[in-house]
Structure 1
């Protein structure tokens, strides 16, 4: 069992979160409109952005794998629309968050021999937040809508944005300590369920692994299971069952090697004890080349100001970055990002270029060492001013304001406020950066009254509290202008004109602007961020019968300059306009390269392109309008658990592209300042007819644009699925090369080998390489699998052995090893053998180098013939396990799966141990699950 502490798991989550910022794989801003109980009144949730996921085990039970996950809310805006208008900015400092229950997942790779401990935000449940806790009447109503909307939103996100990896179990290998399966559990630390305890929420993830050396499952853990993380500087523990101790080395490195961690982290052992079972204690530490930008989070930089960032390695030593970059995911041009120099000094964009009162900017550093480039990122908030007085504006009835109204600074520093004009109540500083205003009796003498407050700081920005004592009957349009330019004008109008024949009186309730008798508002040129409150009153004989109000905030902030319309939106197979059709294999691992091209029209003579957030929404839709789901970046293809489906991936995998070939004529480039190109890879698992796809993306306004909105040549693509015929023995060749011991050098391909050939008779001690080749391609991966579904994983043999006769004094025998180079991995330097070969041979001296006759891309079985071991000296159980045929599963360059069996000739044949033969034990087809695995290793059953 492996045990990982919450502290280190949360650090891994933070590292992945920061890494995804650099890759544009983060959660985009969330926006929605929620209905209030009152008819026609809503709450606009705009640009809600989330920070690092954090695990808690306060409610964990060792009987399952559930945990609590919290996402802090780092920015956004809430606007309450209706009779009582309110608007304020949310920042990280306010402590808002989204909490959900998650069930940790096990994900088993089908090509790469890994099992991942995963956390999937899309599978979260029981969402809760406290954004509306101050809303006494609508609190539960709004929270239910928001929590439901956030759950649906996360469920629709691409896997690369919502899947996080907590650790990896390495299944590669065939010895007794190689894991074959695992289950997950979560456990609270002692006392961690008690609220307000120092360790509240602490706990661990437990990974129970079945190893090849022990095929039986242990008992399910229960509430009495001990907490295996000791006090002190320990964040991980690995415990090995006493029955398997004989297989472990003194250092236990082979145990640690089975545990892998994301983002360049490793288990570093600091203590090792064996009271009964063996326990290794240590930490999950970053490796040297794990880079980090500091400060990583929590930085707030006012518009136009600077902040210094620095790069550190895994040993916390400062490094000189090769390059720095800054990115505002919402910006459509370079001005909105700000700038950063070669030394990491960042300068925020000017106030008239930030686009919002609060925006997120991603800082990325690159570090080059040799041919490798390492990246690290940080996140910061840019505010339009040092002081952002909140709420921007707020309207309150007496029952809402009786206990006081809080005002605060959404910027970086705590600020106190003072009352402006005639005081309508009392103001006091209550701590935590907040001041509280309590209206007095004088505020109740008017239908509408306004209390202005000003920040006591160098930036004397203001807010205004509208105190409403009767229902506002006059609705104005617009009711709220959050970005009123200094000196600019806005025409205000009544929405539903009541008492149409009576006089209208427009007047300023607060603010330095002015309003004309016709309702045209003109902002001041004072250059201070402040709201203006304009009233429209229906007057008869000097008596006000009805009134309403509008709030207009003077600010230097302007809406982000953006594109308005598209010039071109195409989807092609490959990079050429000729790519209207394509073909992809049915294995789930071959990829068809697809390219999106989006070119915008000039807007007011300027060039703007899609923002990074808009680019992140680009995806494919099938002809029925269903979005094609995506794979995680660390998934090479479509696993069996997905069934027969289409999927997309941003990442190119190791296999040959379906449309790889001669260079196509490139798509016309278009104006670079208005054009983006995005490459996607399309996968298919299972048989299918042709399918038609089109592309789409979501703009910043929330509108979806599609490549087939207009009829043109590259509006859609059509993709056929290619399913190979069932493979036969004749699809492969098995050729012998004599590498040691004389005799024929090579047998002609396709010609049967004579087991009584003089190459064997005259040379009793030999070394032959038998080369298994695929006539129509190249093998990319290979793994040995069970010969029978009823076998245990520990029974998988990677060598076979045969004696010349069944007599105990027989000394002539043969045994095999193997060589294979997985695509993209280093060439083998030594022949590999089954772990039991030393018992078979009775010696540790069985290692052999790889000879020059080895060929990459082929599975090579080395057959060693000797005469120095009597059959009677061999353990019958060992020989029995090594007498079974070798069964190998291979993926070719196109991702297709092959299952081949290799064995000696039948024992009734003279010279049987001299010759290897191959066969195809099953014939998987793309319409059958067995196209992926002859044996479903997750379930341990034949498919």
Structure 2
């Protein structure tokens, strides 16, 4: 939804000038138009606290709120106390270079007690090392880097004095060279189109470009445009490598090459391109065309390295990243065919990679059955045994589950969700995730991988809202070889397919719930045998604790709570649900004995929920009640527990006197003269649609099943 800022000529900008200890108490105000007040509640307004405002990452802190007409909240902008950052957040350095010191900042101030770690995304052994206490990082040596560039994640973990855990990461790129030049290789015929080269230096210093022997170079800072020569006679050979070299202020250099040709190649050499050939390594090249033995093949290298009878040997060290191996075919000193292969040279020994998949299986770590309620996770593990090295973290991260019958990937659980939300109109039947949730998994003993077999073990979790048995396989992508590996094909093992069986949640039955009352106020006890105590004591507070036992035997706490929306007028958007109910002792307009409710739920994901009683905004804004309800619980609530608070007062008139308007009623509370619908989700993921209402008994709320 959009919006705009009202003109100061028509709208007063409200910044209170109250002082506190000689400092202005208020520095920011939030105003919500009257027509939107009923569509807001504390949870929605709480979102303003998560917004980081410009400056020093400030957050809005509420001090007071008022509803003279529009809703106005007076507050201030304070520095965020939960913003842990890393410096530098993104950095690049050369392999074998100087150590790099990281520092963590909380509220822009250095913080001690941080635990540091580093891991590589695309290698197994080239992450380098970081001191877990000081945050000093030492890059891997140039000889052991294993790849042209290594992508690392540096992570800082910190627990503050309140026990809140912070975790933040930074990206670190380690490269074999202190400079890059792109493109590294490009072919061009004489008189061909210009080529634009872009250089990047870690030093950020001034760059110096060399003058090419063939063609011209037009330089503009870190960019240069190379134009090939127009005259074929200017080239001494039919293939010529023209280096493009650039140097930074620290003396680091990098080269690209342009392969200039007088005419197009007339034969093909396989492979036409070799990637990252290690120092002194060899590769066999072959001419694909079949010619009689009397046709002479003459091999030659343009650049570093040697070639003999098609076998190319890379140099021990090279200043250029590319060599060109050509083969000229002669008949009686007459050149009849010519072709070439491009060799990309590496100044490092490539990290060993897996040579083949020996075993690729899927294992259910507890059992093959799970509740199909969308939230209970079934833990699985893909176990991949390889010949040679294990998978890199990047290869492992690409692993996904797929349906056997359609080869379609199982969708991921969306970010920040625990599972598959209830949606009977557009149901998602299966989802997968790598993040373990707070919901209790199926019963069963964990199946540990054999310790004596080196494997890449990849954990993943599945949730379901299906009622049908389904078969799955796993697959991962090897970007380097551009190849997809499947557990149901590679090695052909039957354990590469797993069959999962969703089970129905238990039938909701009122006999499995306990809804018990506790008298919190000092007046009376509220006998369970009769209501005489309620007639004797009119101002009371009771807590009604709701507990649940699956099928009457297994106690389950609750993990989530929601209040379902209710339809508005035809064509209107759905309105926010009511979270409280009210009931007067009688229907008389002068009745003042009222019962109203709040609720408390210690949500494991929400801070301070263990001490809060929450009420509908209508109650909190009512003139007779807003100064008489206490949002703090009388006692802390255990995690996962839910209760309804029942409050009775004798000073809230029901209706305005028909003949005396000065005796004002509380018609604004009338929308709450109905039941409260709520949906609890227990720790196993089961859905509990319930209704709390006052039926024949005005003092004791009743529990019913909500039919959806």
- Superposition pairs of residues 554-573 of structure 1, within 5 angstroms: 554-573=345-364
Among 691, 700, 708, the residue aligned to 1:915: 700
State whether residues 580 and 596 of structure 2, in contact with CA within 8 Å, keep that contact through their aligned partners in structure 1.
no
Question: What whole-Å deviation, never above 9, does each CA across 1:10-53 have from its counterpart, x for those lacking one?
Answer: xxxxxxxxxxxxxxxxxxxxxxxxxxxxxxxxxxxxxxxxxxxx
State whether residues 584 and 592 of structure 2, in contact with CA within 8 Å, keep that contact through their aligned partners in structure 1.
no
Among 111, 116, 119, the residue aligned to 1:324: 116
1:692 aligns with 2:505: no
Residue 365 (structure 1) aligns with: 156
Q: 1:283 to 1:563 in 2, by over 3 A?
A: farther
Question: What whole-Å deviation, never above 9, does each CA across 1:84-111 have from its counterpart, x for those lacking one?
Answer: xxxxxxxxxxxxxxxxxxxxxxxxxxxx
Residue 102 (structure 2) aligns with: 310
Offset, 1:555: 3.6
Q: 1:692 to 1:868 in 2, by over 3 A?
A: same
1:893 aligns with 2:683: yes
State whether residues 191 and 229 of structure 2, in contact with CA within 8 Å, keep that contact through their aligned partners in structure 1.
no
The alignment partner of 1:878 has SS state of: helix
Residue 416 (structure 1) aligns with: 208
TM, length-normalised to structure 1? 0.61
Offset, 1:381: 3.0
Q: How many residues align?
A: 657
1:863 aligns with 2:646: yes
Q: 1:468 to 1:864 in 2, by over 3 A?
A: closer
Q: 1:613 to 1:285 in 2, by over 3 A?
A: farther
State whether residues 237 and 281 of structure 1, in contact with CA within 8 Å, keep that contact through their aligned partners in structure 2.
yes
1:781 aligns with 2:571: no
TM, length-normalised to structure 2? 0.79
State whether residues 840 and 874 of structure 1, in contact with CA within 8 Å, keep that contact through their aligned partners in structure 2.
no
1:375 aligns with 2:157: no
Distance (whole Å) between structure 2 residues aligned to residue 855 and residue 362 of structure 1: 37
Residue 326 (structure 2) aligns with: 535
Offset, 1:496: 1.3
Distance (whole Å) between structure 1 residues aligned to residue 508 and residue 293 of structure 2: 85
Distance (whole Å) between structure 2 residues aligned to residue 903 and residue 502 of structure 1: 98
Offset, 1:280: 9.0
Q: 1:905 to 1:562 in 2, by over 3 A?
A: same
1:721 aligns with 2:506: no
1:346 aligns with 2:137: yes
1:544 aligns with 2:346: no
Distance (whole Å) between structure 1 residues aligned to residue 361 and residue 39 of structure 2: 59
Residue 96 (structure 1) aligns with: none
Distance (whole Å) between structure 2 residues aligned to residue 550 and residue 329 of structure 1: 31
1:652 aligns with 2:436: yes
1:470 aligns with 2:263: yes
Offset, 1:440: 5.5
Among 774, 780, 800, the residue aligned to 2:582: 800
State whether residues 787 and 887 of structure 1, in contact with CA within 8 Å, keep that contact through their aligned partners in structure 2.
no
Residue 622 (structure 1) aligns with: 403
Question: What whole-Å deviation, never above 9, does each CA across 1:185-215 have from its counterpart, x for those lacking one?
Answer: 5xxxxxxxxxxxxxxxxxxxx699xxxxxxx
State whether residues 300 and 411 of structure 1, in contact with CA within 8 Å, keep that contact through their aligned partners in structure 2.
no
- Superposition pairs of residues 406-485 of structure 1, within 5 angstroms: 406=196, 409=199, 411-412=201-202, 415-418=207-210, 423-427=213-217, 429-434=219-224, 436=226, 438-439=228-229, 441=231, 442-443=233-234, 446-455=237-246, 458=251, 462-485=255-278
Residue 194 (structure 1) aligns with: none
1:591 aligns with 2:377: yes
Q: 1:353 to 1:746 in 2, by over 3 A?
A: farther
Residue 660 (structure 2) aligns with: none
Distance (whole Å) between structure 2 residues aligned to residue 824 and residue 270 of structure 1: 22
Distance (whole Å) between structure 2 residues aligned to residue 854 and residue 418 of structure 1: 74
Distance (whole Å) between structure 1 residues aligned to residue 706 and residue 43 of structure 2: 37
Distance (whole Å) between structure 1 residues aligned to residue 527 and residue 687 of structure 2: 28
Question: What whole-Å deviation, never above 9, does each CA across 1:592-640 have from its counterpart, x for those lacking one?
Answer: 2222333333x3xxxx322110111122223313321111341112124
Residue 155 (structure 1) aligns with: none
Offset, 1:337: 1.5
1:294 aligns with 2:73: no
Residue 177 (structure 2) aligns with: 385
State whether residues 443 and 449 of structure 1, in contact with CA within 8 Å, keep that contact through their aligned partners in structure 2.
no
The alignment partner of 2:210 has SS state of: strand
* Mean Cα deviation higher: 374-383 or 781-790: 781-790
Distance (whole Å) between structure 2 residues aligned to residue 853 and residue 405 of structure 1: 71
Question: What whole-Å deviation, never above 9, does each CA across 1:40-84 have from its counterpart, x for those lacking one?
Answer: xxxxxxxxxxxxxxxxxxxxxxxxxxxxxxxxxxxxxxxxxxxxx
Question: What whole-Å deviation, never above 9, does each CA across 1:548-595 have from its counterpart, x for those lacking one?
Answer: 223334442333311223444332222xxxx4x422223212222222
Offset, 1:416: 3.1
The alignment partner of 1:337 has SS state of: coil
Q: 1:416 to 1:479 in 2, by over 3 A?
A: farther
Q: 1:733 to 1:466 in 2, by over 3 A?
A: closer
Distance (whole Å) between structure 2 residues aligned to residue 247 and residue 786 of structure 1: 11
Q: 1:783 to 1:798 in 2, by over 3 A?
A: farther
Offset, 1:680: 1.9
**RMSD (Å), alpha carbons:** 4.4
Distance (whole Å) between structure 1 residues aligned to residue 381 and residue 492 of structure 2: 18
State whether residues 116 and 157 of structure 2, in contact with CA within 8 Å, keep that contact through their aligned partners in structure 1.
yes
Distance (whole Å) between structure 1 residues aligned to residue 447 and residue 681 of structure 2: 31
Greater C-alpha radius of gyration: 2
Q: 1:644 to 1:789 in 2, by over 3 A?
A: farther
Offset, 1:433: 4.6
Distance (whole Å) between structure 2 residues aligned to residue 914 and residue 461 of structure 1: 84
State whether residues 584 and 654 of structure 2, in contact with CA within 8 Å, keep that contact through their aligned partners in structure 1.
no
The alignment partner of 1:533 has SS state of: strand
Residue 601 (structure 2) aligns with: 820
State whether residues 408 and 415 of structure 1, in contact with CA within 8 Å, keep that contact through their aligned partners in structure 2.
no
Offset, 1:277: 7.5
1:769 aligns with 2:543: yes
The runs of 5 or more residues in structure 1 that have no matched partner are 1-183, 186-205, 209-220, 229-235, 748-752, 907-911, 923-929, 931-943
Among 631, 651, 654, the residue aligned to 2:413: 631
The runs of 5 or more residues in structure 2 that have no matched partner are 14-27, 551-555, 656-662
Offset, 1:406: 4.7
State whether residues 611 and 636 of structure 2, in contact with CA within 8 Å, keep that contact through their aligned partners in structure 1.
no
Question: What whole-Å deviation, never above 9, does each CA across 1:468-497 have from its counterpart, x for those lacking one?
Answer: 122211222233334344444443321113
Offset, 1:418: 3.5
Distance (whole Å) between structure 1 residues aligned to residue 634 and residue 76 of structure 2: 41
The alignment partner of 2:192 has SS state of: helix
Distance (whole Å) between structure 1 residues aligned to residue 630 and residue 289 of structure 2: 91
